Amino acid sequence: MTILSFSLMQRQPWDLAGIGASSLCVIHCLATPLLVVFLPILEVVEKQTHAGFALAILGIGLLAFWPGYRRHRRWRIIATAIIGFSLISMGVTAPEGLLSESAEVIATILGGLILVTAHCYNAYFCRRCRHCGERECVIG
């Protein structure tokens, strides 16, 4: 059984929301260049959409990772989440011209994938934790 299927079976609500939001962000970044060709008006609201996704992902992440860390004390999951948040935020907060459009897209997609991974691990270790799952937590 993989970590993804194991963690999804438990249905950790904030981790599932985080996986969904991060995945939606990745899909958005992949689809936007194609959609802008057909609907140029989307380019006008792109920065606001990106900022909205970043704030939503940060809020959901805080609701998932902080209680998870308090339960299983896996600092590597927190570090991974911070890297993912940083990459996603880079596309929103970088001054115009500092990063190329493709660098922003790559950073955002990579950040989203890293966050999905962090949420999967967080749900997995929460499930194994003696405080929130059936199995003893392996702290280390």
**Mean pLDDT in order along the chain per 10 residues (140 residues):** 45 81 87 80 78 90 87 89 93 83 88 93 78 45
Report the C-alpha gap between 113 and 80 in whole angstroms: 11
State the pLDDT at residue 53. 86
Written as six digits, the tokens of 54 are 């970043």
Q: What pTM was estimated for this model as a whole?
A: 0.75
Report the C-alpha gap between 32 and 25 in whole angstroms: 10
State the pLDDT at residue 9. 43
Task: Please give the mean pLDDT across all residues of the chain.
Answer: 80
Report the C-alpha gap between 63 and 78 in whole angstroms: 12
